[in-house]
Structure 1
Amino acid sequence: MSAERTVQSISPAVLRGLTEEGRTPRLLDVRTPAEFRAAHIPGAYNVPLPALREHRAELRPHLDEDTVLVCRSGARATRAEQVLAEAGLPGLRVLGGGMNAWEMAGAPVERGPERWDMERQVRLVAGSIVLATGIAGIFVPGVHLVGTAVGAGLVYAAVSNSCAMGVLLSKLPYNRGPRTDIRTVIAGLRSAS
């Protein structure tokens, strides 16, 4: 049984202080392109978690301990840290509380078109399914079990810190943006070194 690794985090206040001092670390935002376009930390590079997994070997030479991983709440960034640690990059930091905490701290944000975040979309779809199957269950016996399955899926999502519905919703055109051009990200990281 292996010892569990501790993920290093950095608070929004410390990160903001570094940026104000002109010592901004490399920022990799692992959210979807649509989430990134809606709001991101100035100077961050968008490398969605699936692209990070796919291109970790190419990114590895351009990252070091002076890299902070960012997502909405910290969960995806923590998974990204684990992926990069497995690729030989231990010691990367995660923005504690993610963009939620960054924005609550009043830190600077570049904004694009407003979009619903993934959590809100999951709540809408899951709630709609439960409501519709609950009503349909009055007329069609057994349909309410679909809502029960959605509830079980939400419990599993909370316990496992993963969400199949969120993954499916992220594939919709609304949630996809332009694919991350990894060459552009690497060029930017190279010039920031």
Structure 2
Amino acid sequence: MAVQNMSPEEFKQVHNSGNVTLIDVRTPVEFREIHVRGAMNVPLDRLSADNVPQRSEDEPLYVVCQKGGRSAQACQKLDAAGVQNIVNVEGGTMGCHAAGMPVVKGKKAISLERQVRIAAGLLVLTGVGLSFVHPAWIALSGFVGAGLVFAGVTDTCGMGMLLARMPWNQVTDTSCCTTNVKSAA
């Protein structure tokens, strides 16, 4: 079982030629802001082989995210779970939009990446500031720095996963998103 990769331009041709099964693994708030028309939202932290859309085994399952990182992780996760015929759309939603694919736009939000930068910056500044009160507080800045290095090396961001679960990153109006998909039996 190997995951295939496809450029946004190639995916545009496939998307325009007919019905495709496309899941977007970003957070519901990111999905609400902009997504490829016809995509279903199944956030990465909730993704499993049991909640991918039902389809025939020879029909590809296309996976997309913002720029391609999370969709690659999702494809690996699904491949390890035995899901067949998975295609990672490289370049993500932004690449598809740049390639001229039809997208659905909704309410604007601060991207998860920007939220991580804001939170990390605030924690580092807080650690430095409090280190004047007691030198041990500098460890907070060191901890954040180590977390950022870990995130860069592993392409897994604990702070991003935590922020994704925050109330401001949840969608109460689910009319924009399809998260309840049938099991692939």
- Shared fold (TM-score, shorter chain, > 0.5): yes
Which AA in structure 2 matches 1:7?
V
Cα offsets for 1:139-191 (capped at 9, x unmatched) = 332212211110000000111110110111011111112477654x339x9xx
Which AA in structure 1 matches 2:55?
H
1:30 pairs, out of 19, 22, 25, with 25
Q: Which position in structure 2 is the counterpart of 1:42?
A: 37
Distance 1:87 1:161, change over 3 A: same
Which AA in structure 1 matches 2:33?
A
- Which residues of structure 1 form unaligned runs of 5+? none
Contact 1:15 1:24 (C-alpha < 8 Å) held by counterparts: no
Superposition RMSD on alpha carbons, in Å? Answer: 2.4
Q: Which position in structure 1 is the counterpart of 2:47?
A: 52
In the alignment, is residue 119 of structure 1 matched against residue 113 of structure 2? yes
TM-score, structure 1 normalization: 0.82
Deviation at 1:60, TM superposition (A): 6.6
TM-score, structure 2 normalization: 0.85
Which consecutive aligned stretches of 4+ in structure 1 deviate over 6 angstroms post-superposition? none
Q: Which position in structure 1 is the counterpart of 2:55?
A: 62
1:102 pairs, out of 78, 96, 105, with 96
In the alignment, is residue 7 of structure 1 matched against residue 9 of structure 2? no
Bigger relative CO (Cα 8 Å, ≥ 6 apart): 2
Which AA in structure 2 matches 1:78?
A
Percentage identity across aligned positions? 36
Deviation at 1:50, TM superposition (A): 2.8
Distance 1:158 1:106, change over 3 A: same
Q: Which position in structure 2 is the counterpart of 1:79?
A: 73
Number of matched pairs? 180
Give, in whole Å, the separation in 2 of the partners of 1:63 and 1:57. Answer: 15
